[in-house]
Structure 1
Amino acid sequence: MPTLFTSKFTRLLQTFTPEELASFEHWLQSPWCNSNKNLPRLLARLKPYHPDFSDQKLSKEKLFRQVLPDGKFSDRRMNNLLSEAYLAAERFLAFQRFAGEDGLQQGLLAQEFLERHLDDWFFRIAQQKIERLEAKETSDWRDHLELLRMLRRVYQHPDPAPRLESGQGMIAKMSEQIDLLYLLEKAALINEMITRNRLFKTENYDVATALHKWRTTAEGIHHPGIDLYRLRFSYGGELSLSRYQELQAAFMENLAALNERDKKIHLLSLINDAKQLIKSGSLDITECLPLYQLGLTTGAIFNYGKLSANTFMTIVTASNTKRTFDFSARFVEDYSLHLNENERDDCVHWAGAHTAYWQKDLEACLAVLQGYHFHSPDFQLVGRVLAAQAYFDLYLRDDSFQPLLFDFLDSFEKWLGRKKLRSITHTDSFLRFVQISRSLARFYAGTGEDVKKAGRLLENERNIQAFNWLKMKNEEVLRLKS
């Protein structure tokens, strides 16, 4: 049987801010919102334990005695009280969300006036809402839908006067909103189809048919978001550095005219493009940093306030490679709290080691990596890659580190053979990193490939970790040997 502090009610309360908790307390005290006089007392007894609810000494029976001192305790009665409190919290959250939706409130109020035959009031509020929506500099799908619905309410009013006076103009406006709503939402979906076709071999969406229908509808329509989709779709899924740069320039030029959703979609699409080009060696990782910084400013790279570990690592890598260490430090300090709690320690320790490496403090980098055990398999992998990079640079600095480097690369390769990773492709990319690193080290030691072979080490490599670092070290080794 679940304990008190694993109930649905306390789990939901854990997500409340102190301000929300105070508002919920006032909500429960209002007879219009709540008729159970025991719920305010229950919340008052639980408030001191917010947000962790970690006191195991407070049992259900003890809490029951505090809330209902004259009642006879039963587990069922306490559970019923907690269930009723949970339902009250649900209603409070729904009301709080509704209170912040001015457009929704106006639309519902207009419908009430319409159904109560308060026609003059209905037309007044409808006109105000239509003018407000049409005056917005940027509109999202909700705005297009709300404008369509309000225009339709006015057009379909029992009084025929609005239809007779401006019927053609109103139909044209409704048609425009339907087209914009369809084109923006369909384009976002087609963009997702293209991405998933590229990433997942098991998925095969008919992009060509969807694009044909979309282009037919979009013909002659010019809108900042639609024009950007039109440019992206014109490439037919083929990506090159010049096309990426053209898309990036067009995005930055139209940034202020995009609604928040389209801004996020186009920014994330550009970031995904950059990742492909970085992986192929066509783009330096530092070039993507401004996109991520824009994503931090606009919130586009957050998923309901959360930052993924992969995004965190990419930003740190790009910033350190660019040697903007002050930004790296501020980023880790300010944004590590947005990581999932079970990944936070891994991310912060890896970031500390990575920053030390790029500051050329190789001993400090290895001290962090050797003094901390990474819990996530992904961080165990990238931590070993970073350690290999540190040992490699120590070897270039001092020949006495040669045995240590080769021993580490051998143990890394054996570990990859034992470790169950997500996929063979995922394993191969790390294995190729080990093999190329070993070949470079052997060439530097004078026991491996000749200069000509070393210069071709990274030719046709498409699935390898730390490609840009290997490219840089390849050039450094060739320079040192010459």
Structure 2
Amino acid sequence: MQESVQHKGVTHFTIVKILRTFSPDEMNEFEKFLHSPFFNNHSTILRLYKELKKFYPLFSDKCLTKEHLFSVANKGKSYDDQLLRKYLSRITKLAEEYLSILQMRTEGIRKDYNVLLQLSRRNIKEIYTRKIKKVEKRFNNFQQFEAEHILHKHFFSALKYELLNKDNQIKPHNELLVDSINNLLDYFLIVSGWLLNEIESHSYTYDTGSKRNAVVAPIDRNMIVEFVENAISNLHSEDKDRMIFLEMVLNDMKLSSPESGFSAYTNLKKLVYGNSHKMSRQILQFYLQRMNVYCLLENLRGTHDMHLDLFQNYRKLLEENLFGSEGKTNLRFLEFRGILISALKIKEFEWAEKFINENVKYVDEDLQANVFHYGYSLLRFYTQDYSESLSHNSKIQSGLLPITIDSYILKAKIFYVLGHSDSALSLADSFRHFINLNKLISDFHKQNLLNFLKYFRAIIRLKAKNNIAKAGKLLAELQTSSNTREKKWLIEMTEDLLKLK
């Protein structure tokens, strides 16, 4: 028993999980890092790493055991599990230190701020005065809206004020204090907006429990709207970029209002597309995704047909390469699904097929085969190749909730179109039980799906009875219904019934 534990592989160790994510260049650089006595003065750690490096990138060779690593690090010594764990813990901490350095390299402005803090504390006036002028020049040359830059402008304004005060300047420099406040408020607005949007999105996506136990944010959209409207009214006319920024924040906050949501969306889209060159990747992605959430909810509610807008926004995200980070494209399943469905809804079939073939590789590797068949099952349904659609659907072997739900709906629609009414009704019953028993589906989505089933079953029965009068009433009810999945398709099927008379 003890022997089997000892000879266990090392793939479960934290350091191995970290090293698996390193590029070949990073593996080589980390070795140089370990050679530096500033970071590491233990030759044992270096020997241990060099041996680990031989098994990169999988680290799954059967001979890579704890005993093997220990024998390389400490030749001639008997295996000591506790000592090896200390070595592995030490090299893990060094890997974390290296990751911190990698992150610092991407944060030039934060590094400048840290240097200025040190120069200020050491009271080296000549150097920090020269340094802060260089930093200010960088800020002046940076024309994009970027949350982190806005925050650091606040820090630099406050720091510059402190430095000037330290020099006993008679002038109060209130302009630096005002600039610091404005940048801090702008950062607060953009981050608060993002957080409030996430909270709202979760209320639609997840079952968050009873309202009595719900987490309540200390601010709401109305408070931000009131504040921003007041800020805009007091803004100097020459501060055009800040006006654009505040207008985007304002319209974002108004998107959730039933009264002003659509006009706010129209305004926000114009602002985002017209000023995308002024936005960082992060900010542009934030607003495009925010508009997509609005479009998706409008489509679900059935209040506006936003499929074209949704497709345009997704295409913009793809064109700007805003999926993923650090130059690496990465698509979550829900993003892949949203892009594909938006294209199919407006009959961009060639574009959709090209998208599937070129982008399925960017989905999580474990999901790629399922997502490929999922994509083609949808595509073939929309191109009316129903047998091929069912064939791809049958090859999907994923328990992912959105795939399961879409699979139910797709098969139900195919059975109906092919005239298999009994199969369609049987599937609808199974789907209804699945919805009611699933605790992960939010109340909003649960009602959305149950409304689909209600109208779907009604259409099947009316078709069987050829009841044209009731079909007309059902159509009127459908057209005014809200929060109904596949509302447009249900209306089309009901209209087809009326054509049969």
TM-score normalised by the chain length of structure 2: 0.83
Partner of 1:466: 486
Partner of 1:348: 372
Greater RCO (Cα-Cα under 8 Å, separation 6 or more) = 2
- Please state how far the C-alpha of 1:457 moved relative to its aligned partner: 4.4
Distance in 2 (alpha carbons) for counterparts of 1:427 and 1:151: 50
Change (3 A) 1:198 1:272: closer
Distance in 1 (alpha carbons) for counterparts of 2:105 and 2:68: 36
Distance in 2 (alpha carbons) for counterparts of 1:352 and 1:420: 29
Change (3 A) 1:142 1:199: closer
One-letter amino acid of the structure 2 residue matched with residue 453 of structure 1:
K
- Please state how far the C-alpha of 1:203 moved relative to its aligned partner: 4.8
- Please state how far the C-alpha of 1:236 moved relative to its aligned partner: 7.4
Partner of 2:498: 478
Change (3 A) 1:244 1:140: closer
Partner of 1:94: 100
- Please state how far the C-alpha of 1:387 moved relative to its aligned partner: 1.0
Partner of 1:189: 192
The answer to whether the Cα contact below 8 Å between 1:362 and 1:390 also exists between their aligned partners in 2 is yes
Change (3 A) 1:317 1:145: closer
SS in 2 for 1:157: helix
* Residue among 440, 458, 461 paired with 1:442: 461
Distance in 2 (alpha carbons) for counterparts of 1:260 and 1:297: 12
* Residue among 122, 128, 131 paired with 1:122: 128
- Please state how far the C-alpha of 1:365 moved relative to its aligned partner: 0.6
Change (3 A) 1:345 1:420: farther
Change (3 A) 1:474 1:302: farther
Partner of 1:294: 316
The answer to whether the Cα contact below 8 Å between 1:197 and 1:204 also exists between their aligned partners in 2 is no
- Please state how far the C-alpha of 1:364 moved relative to its aligned partner: 0.6
Distance in 2 (alpha carbons) for counterparts of 1:407 and 1:236: 38
Task: Report how many residues are paired.
Answer: 473
Change (3 A) 1:94 1:470: same
Distance in 1 (alpha carbons) for counterparts of 2:284 and 2:268: 13
* Residue among 48, 53, 60 paired with 1:47: 53
The answer to whether the Cα contact below 8 Å between 2:144 and 2:278 also exists between their aligned partners in 1 is yes
Distance in 2 (alpha carbons) for counterparts of 1:259 and 1:358: 36
Partner of 1:19: 25
Change (3 A) 1:177 1:432: same
One-letter amino acid of the structure 2 residue matched with residue 471 of structure 1:
I
The answer to whether the Cα contact below 8 Å between 1:144 and 1:178 also exists between their aligned partners in 2 is no
Q: Within the alignment, does 1:258 sit opposite 2:282 as a pair?
A: no
The answer to whether the Cα contact below 8 Å between 2:151 and 2:183 also exists between their aligned partners in 1 is no
Q: Within the alignment, does 1:360 sit opposite 2:384 as a pair?
A: yes
Distance in 2 (alpha carbons) for counterparts of 1:416 and 1:106: 54
Q: Within the alignment, does 1:225 sit opposite 2:245 as a pair?
A: yes
- Please state how far the C-alpha of 1:441 moved relative to its aligned partner: 3.0
Q: Mean Cα displacement is larger for which, 41-50 or 413-422?
A: 413-422
- Please state how far the C-alpha of 1:407 moved relative to its aligned partner: 4.2
- Please state how far the C-alpha of 1:179 moved relative to its aligned partner: 0.9
Distance in 1 (alpha carbons) for counterparts of 2:293 and 2:316: 14
The answer to whether the Cα contact below 8 Å between 1:388 and 1:405 also exists between their aligned partners in 2 is yes
Change (3 A) 1:109 1:477: same
The answer to whether the Cα contact below 8 Å between 1:271 and 1:288 also exists between their aligned partners in 2 is yes
The answer to whether the Cα contact below 8 Å between 1:64 and 1:73 also exists between their aligned partners in 2 is yes
One-letter amino acid of the structure 1 residue matched with residue 455 of structure 2:
I
The answer to whether the Cα contact below 8 Å between 1:356 and 1:365 also exists between their aligned partners in 2 is yes
Unpaired runs of 5+ residues, structure 2, are 204-210
- Please state how far the C-alpha of 1:182 moved relative to its aligned partner: 0.9
Q: Within the alignment, does 1:328 sit opposite 2:352 as a pair?
A: yes
Partner of 1:398: none
Distance in 2 (alpha carbons) for counterparts of 1:67 and 1:237: 64
Q: Mean Cα displacement is larger for which, 375-384 or 254-263?
A: 254-263
Distance in 1 (alpha carbons) for counterparts of 2:320 and 2:361: 17
Q: Deviations over 1:165-209 (max 9, x none)?
A: xx46x4314412421331342254146436635863535545244
Change (3 A) 1:197 1:310: closer
- Please state how far the C-alpha of 1:57 moved relative to its aligned partner: 4.1
Q: Deviations over 1:272-311 (max 9, x none)?
A: 1111211122114233111112223445555896533222
Distance in 1 (alpha carbons) for counterparts of 2:331 and 2:19: 23
Partner of 2:146: 140
Change (3 A) 1:158 1:248: closer
The answer to whether the Cα contact below 8 Å between 2:435 and 2:441 also exists between their aligned partners in 1 is no
Distance in 2 (alpha carbons) for counterparts of 1:300 and 1:97: 20
* Residue among 449, 458, 470 paired with 1:430: 449
Change (3 A) 1:432 1:141: closer
Distance in 1 (alpha carbons) for counterparts of 2:444 and 2:165: 67
Change (3 A) 1:354 1:227: same
- Please state how far the C-alpha of 1:91 moved relative to its aligned partner: 1.2
- Please state how far the C-alpha of 1:270 moved relative to its aligned partner: 1.1
Q: Deviations over 1:432-474 (max 9, x none)?
A: 3233223223333444453422422414432322222223333
Distance in 2 (alpha carbons) for counterparts of 1:444 and 1:380: 27
- Please state how far the C-alpha of 1:135 moved relative to its aligned partner: 2.4
Distance in 2 (alpha carbons) for counterparts of 1:191 and 1:153: 27
Equivalences for residues 163-178 of structure 1 within 5 A? 163-164=169-170, 167=171, 170-178=173-181
The answer to whether the Cα contact below 8 Å between 1:433 and 1:466 also exists between their aligned partners in 2 is yes
* Residue among 382, 393, 399 paired with 1:369: 393
* Residue among 334, 337, 342 paired with 1:313: 337
* Residue among 34, 38, 47 paired with 2:44: 38
- Please state how far the C-alpha of 1:247 moved relative to its aligned partner: 2.5
- Please state how far the C-alpha of 1:24 moved relative to its aligned partner: 0.8
Q: Mean Cα displacement is larger for which, 382-391 or 453-462?
A: 453-462
Distance in 2 (alpha carbons) for counterparts of 1:144 and 1:417: 46
Change (3 A) 1:314 1:89: same
The answer to whether the Cα contact below 8 Å between 1:130 and 1:151 also exists between their aligned partners in 2 is no
SS in 2 for 1:163: coil
